[in-house]
Homo-oligomer: A and B are copies of this chain.
Amino acid sequence: MCPAKISESAVRRLSLYLRVLDAFELAGKTTVSSGDLAERGGVTPAQVRKDLSHFGSFGKRGLGYPVSELRERVTEILGLGRRWRVGLVGAGKLGAALFFYDGFRGQGFDVAAIFDNDPDKIGQRWGRLVVEDIESMDRVMRTSQVEMGIIVTPAVSAQQVADRLIASGVEAILNFAPTRLQVPPGITLRNVNLEIELESLAFALTHENGA
């Protein structure tokens, strides 16, 4: 049902299936086969079945999976059956882009606090929030009951910010700063490094045809 270890990539595929299920439900389908899910998700049917089987047995042999029920189950598995409160550190352009992006709210993530250390930015009103001084992070994070942090600061400040987030009780961090953060065991860290993505494209273009 819920085994010891699910691979990072399997979890990401679950997110993918959830989107495909949304589309199928919108299209009015009531059941889907692993083949349907696989085709739309760009994976193999066996992979879909294996991924789902880690968490239970949701399908009917000969029929497939009930769309609506599977969607609910995957939502639950991913921990999206509730809303999450997110703290955003860094009120720059990327921070603004993330803050005003509707996709997060749609998936159950609410930005509950924004921080910066620039006096020009502190006090600015962003939607229904005010940019807070990074110095008051601990207090604000606890009163806002923030559970996740997003780091959108320059690389030099990132480690310090991460330390403060963790001190404030945050256990999951999404880091956009192009630097490798050290976090203690038990803290979940995901990195999004745009430079690395571009560099991987450059590598592919450079090596694609025996060049």
Say whether, besides A192-B197, A200-B12, A208 and B180 are in contact (CB < 8 Å): no
User: Which of A42, A96, A97, A201 has the most chain B CB within a 10 Å cutoff?
Assistant: A201
Mark the stretch among A45-53, A60-68, A100-108, A132-140 that contacts chain B. A100-108
On chain B, the residues within 8 Å of A188 by CB distance are 201, 204-205, 208
Taking a contact as CB atoms under 8 Å apart, the answer to whether B15 and A148 are in contact is no
On chain A, which size bracket covers the interface?
A: 35 or more
Q: Is the interface of A mostly helix, strand, loop or mixed?
A: helix
Taking a contact as CB atoms under 8 Å apart, the answer to whether B11 and A200 are in contact is yes
Shortest A19–chain B CB gap in Å is 7
User: Which of A40, A86, A190 has the most chain B CB within a 10 Å cutoff?
Assistant: A190
Q: Does A77 contact B (CB under 8 A)?
A: yes
On chain B, the residues within 8 Å of A18 by CB distance are 199
Shortest A28–chain B CB gap in Å is 19
Q: Does A57 contact B (CB under 8 A)?
A: no
157-191 of chain A: CB within 8 A of chain B: 171-174, 178-180, 186, 188, 190
Q: Does A41 contact B (CB under 8 A)?
A: yes
With beta carbons under 8 angstroms apart, the residue of B78, B101, B199 that contacts A199 is B78
| Protomer copies | 2
Q: Which residue of B lies closest to A84 (CB)?
A: B202
Alpha-carbon distance between A162 and B50 when the two chains are bound, in angstroms:
31
Q: Which residue of B lies closest to A12 (CB)?
A: B196
On chain B, the residues within 8 Å of A107 by CB distance are 195, 198-199
Say whether, besides A93-B97, A147-B205, A104 and B194 are in contact (CB < 8 Å): yes
On chain B, the residues within 8 Å of A172 by CB distance are 201-202, 204-205
Taking a contact as CB atoms under 8 Å apart, the answer to whether A194 and B103 are in contact is yes
On chain B, the residues within 8 Å of A173 by CB distance are 201
A-B contact pairs, 16 of them (CB 8 A): A14-B199, A19-B179, A42-B180, A78-B206, A79-B206, A79-B207, A92-B97, A93-B100, A94-B97, A103-B195, A107-B195, A109-B198, A147-B205, A148-B205, A172-B205, A190-B200
